[in-house]
Amino acid sequence: MGTCIIPAVTQNTEKSYPISRGTWLYVGGSGPGNYTRIQDAVDNASDGDTVYVYNDSSPYYENIVVNKSVHLIGEDRETTVIDGNWKEHVVFVSSDNASIEGFTIQNSSNDCGGIKLCSNYSTIQRIILRNNYYGILLEDSSYNSIRNNTITMAENTGIMLSFFSRYNLISGNIIHWFNNDGIELIGFSCNNTILENIIEDNLDKGVLIVSDGNILSYNMIRNNNYGISVVHNKNNIIVNNTIRNNLVGVGIQGSTSVNSIIADNTISFCWYGILLNGLKNIVISRNNMLNNTYAIDTTETSNITILKNQFTTNHIGIKIVSSSDTIMYENNINNNIEGIFLENSYKNEIRCNNFNDNTQRNALFSDCNTTVWDSNYWNRPRILPKIIFGKIKLRNIPITWINIDWHPAQEPYDIPGMT
């Protein structure tokens, strides 16, 4: 087949499209031989062809199956509408190396997606998805790119990855107003990257992760119940996100949730900034935690490292309950109501932190054994050791007790690498 480009009669497209190596087939418009149905054009296309859809015949009431490596392009994503009429998936992609862009896709049936991918190396971009049960549903799909879409007003979830969907890139999307979650990674959907999305105003979770080895970076996640929820998995990386106005900013739970990193995020105006429960081996570093009720709250955890974070204007900076082997090192804990509270915890180390101007108290403990306080800065230079007051129970009777920082710092630390 010869090379063909979009002719001059095509007006008001959103971008210039590259020359295709295959044949161009046209749907709608006034050209001779143009198709009236998108599915008919796809059925007559071959791998590598482009199906270009004009907006003058929109909406197209179809449920489309893309079973070839074709490029499906709409003239204008605002006005080129594919309407599933509440039947099945609106667009189902079963072939590798397909692409879809430039449409509004709406009105799938229950338990179906605006777009369903069972495909590898495909691209979904510049799409508006609305009023679908799932916005985009991936099953056993890997190495796909989902970018620069607006996904809104769905019954369930914006983007769901399931059944071994791996190494996908989800970037530059706006995902909001879902009755459940913005993005879900379940069913061994590992090693995906969620990058530079806006995920907001979802009734449950902004992002739910129940799979290993995923990266969330440079996202804006706000006004959800949970911003990010990580359950029973390992080796996830949450970095450089802005997370605000959620009930929980980042929540990680489950005894198999290990070896994750939460770093370089700004987490603000949440009831719990970071909430950890029943897990171990998590690193929390260089985050800016401000205006939360509990900036970090851990329960029944072990081997948590809290390093080089900024805690400012929270009610409680760090709360540690029934936990062990927590290391808190080189944090700025300033201008909170309470700096640190420890309860029923043991073998924790609190070293080389700055405690400044926490209005009620810098630190408090209750029923804690073998806590090491060492070389922290406590508001001002100190000649004598710093006494930290708390309580323990003797025969179930609480009595006042003390811990001691024997070597308080004489000046605040200048901590490199702080957010």
Q: How far, in Å, are 12, 29, 40 from residue 25 at the CA level?
A: 18, 11, 10
Report d(CA 27, CA 40) in Å as an integer.
Answer: 9
Three-state DSSP state, 14: coil
pLDDT of amino acid 268: 98
0.75 exceeded by the pTM? Answer: yes
pLDDT of amino acid 398: 85
Report d(CA 157, CA 137) in Å as an integer.
Answer: 9
pLDDT of amino acid 7: 36
Report d(CA 104, CA 26) in Å as an integer.
Answer: 18
pLDDT of amino acid 418: 60
Residue 143 contacts residue 119 (beta carbons within 8 Å): no
Opening angle at CA 170, ends 68 and 64, nearest 5: 30
Report d(CA 285, CA 282) in Å as an integer.
Answer: 10
pLDDT of amino acid 13: 33
pLDDT in tens, the chain (419 residues): 333 333 333 333 334 455 556 999 999 998 899 999 999 999 999 999 999 999 999 999 999 999 999 999 999 999 999 999 999 999 999 999 999 999 999 999 999 999 999 999 999 999 999 999 999 999 999 999 999 999 998 789 999 999 999 999 999 999 998 888 999 999 999 999 999 999 999 999 999 999 999 999 999 999 999 999 999 888 999 999 999 999 999 999 987 778 899 999 999 999 999 999 999 999 999 999 999 999 999 999 999 999 999 999 999 999 999 999 999 999 999 999 999 999 999 999 999 999 999 999 999 999 987 899 999 999 999 989 999 999 988 878 888 999 999 999 999 999 876 64
Closest to 144 measured CA to CA, from 198, 217, 95? 95
